[in-house]
Amino acid sequence: MVASASGRSVIVGAGVAGRELATALRRKRKMAAVMGFLDDRFDGTRGVFAGLPLLGRIDDLGNVVRALQIDQVYIAIPSAHGQLVRRIVAACQGARVAFRIVPRILEIIEGRARLDDVRQIRPEDLLGRAPVKSDRGLARLLAHGRRILVTGGAGSIGTELCRQLGRCEPEELVALDWSENGIFNLEREIRRRYPRLSFRSLLGNAQESDQIKRIFKETKPEVVFHAAAYKHVPLMERFPEQALLNNIIGTWNVASAAREFGAQTFVLVSTDKAVLPRSIMGATKAVAELLVQSLGQSARFSTVRCGNVFSSSGSVIPIFQEQIRRGGPVTLTHPDMVRFFMTIPEAVHLIIQAARLTEGGEVFVLDMGEPVKILDIAENLIRLSGFRPHVDVEITFTGSRSGEKLSEQLARHDEDVVPSAFPHVFVTKTVRAPAMPPETLVRTARELAMRARPREIRRFLAELVPDFKFAKRSPARAQRALTVQFAVRR
């Protein structure tokens, strides 16, 4: 439903969405009086759309707000990319006027919203590029009538995989996770959404080889998405043995069981932090990629590298939002840090495409445009919350954490990255082999994890991943040095 408002409003965008929104607003009682449209197609001549005048271009917003005493701005361009949305938001904030946005085209197509729904602007609306649209037909071709297993099924990406695959009428959808609350909530949601779906939720651990084999023997999945992993860089620096157990041994348990029990397709969800890793987490994911590639030489096993995912559990967006709700400060580790960002639906879209495209051994990456400064994201979130960055809400820098890089890459220099059959998706078939047989690698990793000696673990990972560079100084010493550096710069 359209939110109630009083006073006068103007609509940015005189296309189909804008005209339908204007009609809907006028149908509602006690709604803001719509004074007209702003659109960059304005050529200086007065036009009329849906019975309302075209008042000017987007850059005229401030003057129009003051002249007509506008109280509310509706942004009605569902296909707008982040740069345009940021421009409109900046104009609204400069004019000190409230603003809301109509849903994106994808939300409308998927039935999650209508054109006349309006909502607060979300962080992903400010993505620095046009979002990649998902293909429901592609997911159906992959999933319809097939048995599918999603590990890490209760996580952000795993849950979205279950949502998108569940509507494609698979023969059976199985979700595995070791979070009791997570798997409980996932089961409730999937059964509510798809009451006729054959869905099974399993509480279990990818680190337990015998348990994984039992699951594969019982469910006989044809398609496997392995999204179970530890992803928090600072925690894995503190507990490297857990990174070995989950990211390496867990991946091998699931992948080798997939091969043993005849799964047709296996996709590992990896991270850009596996490229030139500087962290334990990144290095263990790089090793996981090597293991999957070793199996992919004789089966349809592949890897997808995702960038930072908007609003996933533990990502910077919800952390910043919580800090803003508390009144600040918003904490960043470094003012120059940049990251590639993607939305959860984009990540799942890429993963499903990879499952369709794979022939064996590939690494898939998404063309995510230019990386985004974390500082810019923090400032935009503060503005969207109605505050002024550095004035109403302070931003502080704490110093780079151990294992953290200022920027990430999606591919190494020695990887031959080429376009795939799908737009915005790139693939590399550069084959790399582990420095030791996979079985020996996994056995050694398990022994090192049991001894829990960080230095030995780092040396082991450096042997397997030659471009793994780890800090010689302790995290505490490195942070003290950076804190002094920031003080000098400010």
Is the CA virtual torsion 454, 459, 464, 465 positive or negative? positive
* 425-428 and 417-419 beta bridge pairing: antiparallel
Tokens of 121: 């602007």
Max CA distance (Å), the chain: 77
Q: Is 284 exposed, middle or buried (0-12, 13-18, 19+ CB in 10 A)?
A: buried
> 475: cis peptide before it, omega within 30°?
no
Collapse the DSSP code of 389 into the 3-class scheme (helix H, G, I; strand E, B; otherwise coil) and give the result: strand
Tokens of 485: 């550096």
Collapse the DSSP code of 369 into the 3-class scheme (helix H, G, I; strand E, B; otherwise coil) and give the result: coil
Q: For this structure, is 405 an active site residue?
A: no
Distance CA 255, CA 166 (A): 22
Distance CA 296, CA 36 (A): 58
3-state secondary structure 187-235: HHHHHHHCCCCCEEEEECCCCCHHHHHHHHHHHCCCEEEECCCCCCHHH
Distance CA 292, CA 256 (A): 9
Catalytic residue among 133, 213, 231, 273: 273
Tokens of 249: 């041994």
* Region class of 11: left (phi > 0), else alpha (psi between -120 and 50), else beta: beta
Collapse the DSSP code of 109 into the 3-class scheme (helix H, G, I; strand E, B; otherwise coil) and give the result: helix
List active site positions. Answer: 273
